[in-house]
Amino acid sequence: MNKEGDNMGENTLSLKEIRNNIIRINNNIENYCGLKKIEFEKTQPKAIMFDKLKVDVSHVNYDLFIKYVIKSNKYDDKIIPLEKELLQYQTLFINEIERMKRYDEVPLIEFLKYEAGLSWNEIDNFLCSASGTSKKKWNRYKSIENK
């Protein structure tokens, strides 16, 4: 545990890092869901090939479905914690945007302009500011930073 007492140092992450983690977790979830879908499709009946038709007493589909259920549970065991982690990062992202919106607008303006790709007018609307306010704040911040 670090000095601030937060869990895993998440409060030190920038919006860009939080967003990157959200995208990474989403990709992992999609990967496991895709693998799960492939396993499910293996259980579905195939087309009958009449040239290879023979009487078979075994129930292959039943065995395939049991294998699917077992593998599906393994994928679910990986997907569920990822979804919980995703929810935590999404909540952190929203809370950080709300905090920055209230107290620390310059990093939020930087994120909205250069990471989210919003125009200056869209940023002003998001921050409930007059037209041109966010651009003035950004220019003032940059001029102070360059001194």
Output the CA–CA distances (angstroms, integers) from residue 131 to 10, 59, 75, 101, 134, in the order listed.
Answer: 33, 70, 49, 16, 8
Q: What distance in Å separates the CA atoms of residue 102 and residue 113, rounded to the nearest whole number? A: 17
- Tokens 């360059």 sit at which residue? 146
Q: What distance in Å separates the CA atoms of residue 111 and residue 40, rounded to the nearest whole number? A: 41
> Nearest CA to 97 among 85, 82, 110, 81?
110
pLDDT tens sequence for the chain (147 residues): 333 334 444 457 888 899 999 999 999 999 999 999 998 888 887 777 666 666 555 555 567 778 888 888 999 999 999 999 999 999 999 998 888 888 778 888 988 998 889 999 999 998 888 998 999 988 888 888 787
pTM of the model: 0.69
Question: In the 3-class helix/strand/coil scheme, how is 69-129 assigned residue by residue?
Answer: HHHHHHHHHHHHHHHHHHHHHHHHHHHHHHHHHHCCHHHHHHHHHHHCCCCHHHHHHHCCC
Burial 60-86 (b: 16+ CB within 10 A, else e): eeeebbeebeebbeebeeebeebeeeb
